[in-house]
Amino acid sequence: MDAQAAKYIGAGLACAALLGAGIGIGNIFGSYLSAALRNPAAAASQRTNLLLGFALTEATGLFGLLIALLILFG
């Protein structure tokens, strides 16, 4: 196998980080919805935390994408 092919495989494998990010983001919004439906009065106060958690989780997936780009172009 030449180095270029190995690079592409490695970049594809690095995108596996998106698996965790997907589970995490789904978990955050799912938990928020189930909690918000139980207690709708408190839902609005937690929206900042929801978006903060979303942004922090999304970033972990992007770290994987970054590694993929580094492998491809680094």
Partner 1 sequence: MADPLHQFVVTKTIPLAIGGVDISFTNASAWMLIVSGAAAVLLWLGLRKPQLVPGRAQSAVEMLYEVVDETIVSSAGPEARKFFPLIFTVFMFILFANVAGLLPYSYTVTSQIVVTFTIAFIAFIGITLVGIANQGFGFLRMFAPPGVPVAMYLILTPIEIVSYFIRPISLSVRLFANMMAGHVLLKVLAGFVVTLGIFGAIPLLVVVGMTALEALVAVLQAYVFTVLVCVYLNDALHAHH
**Nearer Cβ to partner 1 (1/45):** 45
CB 22 within 8 A of CB 61: yes
CB of 53 to partner 1, least distance (A): 10
Give the relative orientation of helices 47-73 and 17-38 as an angle to the nearest 10 degrees.
Answer: 170
CA distance 58 to 53: 8
Question: Site for partner 1 (CB under 8 A): which residue of 26, 59, 71, 74?
Answer: 59
By CB under 8 A, name the binding residues for partner 1: 51-52, 54-56, 58-59, 62-63, 65-66, 73
